[in-house]
Amino acid sequence: MLFTKNQILFFATICFFLIQQYGFAQIDSTKIEVRKNHNIIQLALNAITKKLSDSAAEAALLNVRSEVYFLPYQGKIIRRIIIKRYGFDKIFSDTSTRLSYLGTKILNSLHTNTREEVIRNNLFIKEKTSINAYKLADNERYLRSLEFMQDARIIINDIPNITDSVDLLVITKDLFSITGDLSEVSKNRFKAKIGEANFLGMGQKIQLSTLIEQSRKPTVGFEFLYSKNSIAHSFINANIVYTTINPSLNNGLQNEHAWYIQLERPLVSQYAHFAGALLVGHNQSYNNYQYPDSSFYRYNYYKYDMWLGYNLGVNALLNNTSKKDRQFIGLRYFQNSFAEVPYQIKDPYNFKFSNRQALLGQFTFFRQHFYKTNYIYGFGTTEDVPAGYNIALTAGWYKQANLKRTYTDINANYYVATHKGDFIQYFTRAGTFIHNGRWQDAGFLLGANVFSRLFVYRSLKIRQYIGLSYTRLFNITGIEPLRIDNAFGLRYFNADSITGTQRISLHTETFFFLKYKLLGFKFAPFAFGEATLLTPPNQKFASSDLYYNIGSGVRTRNENLIFETIELRFIYFPRKAAQNNSFKIAFTTNIRFRYNSNYVNAPDIVQFNNDNNNNIY
């Protein structure tokens, strides 16, 4: 079989990236001097690891399963739970030291520490009950997942002369919770956002976004968001949003007015009974940019979405901790109902503008535990990375416009944490609609994501990421074809008109975490490369086109502030015709990097052009 030039280039690129990964693997990460140092982390992990002398090597301290520290206390009674709260200006590894840099005093005057009742509202461990090491580890991890929390530890204290009971010390460290984002500033356009993620220390968020644009009528638009964490210790989070600057379904211009109300309860622990959500909302386009009627897409629709799930056999699992496999069943109903559809839309099955309605049931098998580590996405704070498996089987009824079909899919993930500190995720998803005995809109996706172990060279920390995926669609009827302007293709690629039915993608990125800080901000330069081989619709694999880019950039973040990661990225696209410009500079603020740590998700149609649950980026 003869290969085309594009295919040869693609496979040569893969070989080059693998050689690059192998080259970094030669750095010896074991020759690091060790010394003793007592702090909160050391107390939590005593007898497991030792504090490394070079603070740059701190990540090795945290490569440990989350429940290991708690296992020796399994079955003991919790006498008391004591809460110890630290503000953002404390150093978690040495709480006797305060952060001190320009503006710290001003920030302190603006910050309110999280109230004790808010911390207790997020505890599902109770006094006068026996310790379950896995449940305790779940609660510690859940505290770290809160938006206004930088880190959390649960320390077990022995009680003198009492052998069957212990006290728990819950230690939390806040983020500075006032956030802002100045995303666009030009002569004719200004866009900014300001918010407080922990208003008055009460676990509630208030956020206001504004857009001022001369070509818009009215020139000023806004968005208001309010959310409340764990209402009345129920673990139900509430969100209320009203906006006049929502991106439109047609071209992304911010001329959509919308509101929605959402109540959501995640599965906070593998031992929790229920999870679910309820959302009600309304979206409507307004001609704020004064388009002619022939060009303006006028639409108006309501959306309803609700789901509820139950964790099977929880009580039996609490009594038998040796059983690790879990089963979860969920049911979801959602509806997008258009009161008005743009008259320009002639295709009744246009995915964006057609009425959609579905009833989906899902059965999930999972066995997951977590490793505490760092320098995956963050710059040194504790991160929770899963190990184990998660397999979700979904089936149900789906209606798009007047087309009624049954639906079924599988979404499987297998997470591996090697003893050397590598983190690997293998994933597959496949789904199909069935109509009159025929498969429609069928597809599958296979892939893997790899984070290498952390290599330490003097004060420099290096980690390598590689992602590879293959996607194939069949008999497209009512879903979007494959694109490459997403996580499974080339990020920051502007041309959304390039589509296909078969896609092979490779992404590699090397991170360098620097030791030095500026006003509390840490820096991580990176170099990356991406390549995608896309087969156009109704074409053979030999006709596939190769798209690729290379580049570099730098990320920065102050881990004590709620401001998310800021990224400056320089990208070179050799195929200028596909991208319009060969070079692109992307400056992005408020990027929220976080490894997926959900046990279960709402039943859904599998997606092939985005990766909300699994994607690294």
Distance (Å, whole) CA 595 – CA 440: 33
The first and second tokens of residue 585, run together, are 């500079």
What is the full DSSP assignment across 252-268?
Answer: --S-EEEEEEEEEE---
Residue 59 amino acid letter: A
Q: Which amino acid is at 412?
A: A
**Six-digit token pair at 41?**
């982390």
Which residues neighbour 450 within 8 Å (Cβ) at sequence distance 6 or greater?
A: 422, 423, 424, 425, 464, 465, 466, 467
Q: How far apart are CA 583 and CA 578, in angstroms?
A: 12
The residue whose two tokens read 């379904």 is 249
* Calpha distance 553→587 (Å, rounded): 10
Q: How does residue 57 score in pLDDT terms, banded at 50, 70 and 90?
A: very low
378 Cβ contact partners less than 8 Å away, ≥ 6 residues apart: 557, 559, 593
Lowest model confidence (mean pLDDT) among 58-72, 274-288, 593-607: 58-72
Q: What is the pLDDT of residue 19?
A: 40
Per-residue pLDDT tens over the stretch 238-251: 999 999 999 998 88
pLDDT at 100 over 80: no
Contacts of 346 (CB under 8 A, 6+ apart): none
Three-state secondary-structure class, residue 173:
strand
Confidence of residue 37 (pLDDT cuts 50, 70, 90): very low
Distance CA 331, CA 161 (A): 50
Residue 101 — pLDDT band, cuts 50, 70, 90?
low
pLDDT in the model for residue 4: 55
pLDDT at residue number 577:
52
What pLDDT is attached to residue 273?
93
What is the model's pLDDT at position 576?
Answer: 59
| Tokens representing residue 490 in the block | 């080339």
Nearest to 391 by CA among 354, 418, 366, 368: 366
Please check whether residue 260 is in contact with residue 243, taking contact to mean a CB–CB distance below 8 angstroms.
no
Confidence check: pLDDT of 110 > 70: yes
pLDDT at 31 over 80: no
* Dist CA 477 CA 161 (whole Å): 72
Tell me the percentage of the chain whose pLDDT exceeds 70.
83
Question: Which residue is listed with tokens 């676990």?
Answer: 203
How high is the pLDDT of residue 317?
Answer: 77
The pLDDT of residue 125 is above 50: yes
Q: What are phi and psi of 13, to 5 degrees?
A: -65, -40
pLDDT of residue 579: 56
Q: pLDDT at residue 51 above 70? A: no
Render pLDDT for 341-396 as a digit per residue (tens, 0 to 9): 999 888 888 878 889 999 999 999 999 889 888 888 888 888 888 999 999 999 99
Q: Is the pLDDT of residue 183 over 60?
A: yes
What number is the average pLDDT over the span 144-168?
92
Q: What pLDDT, in 10s, does the model give residues 457-487?
A: 888 899 999 999 999 999 988 888 998 888 8
- Mean pLDDT score of the chain: 83
Of 1-10, 13-22, 64-73, the one with minimum mean pLDDT is: 13-22
Q: How far apart are CA 84 and CA 171, in angstroms?
A: 5
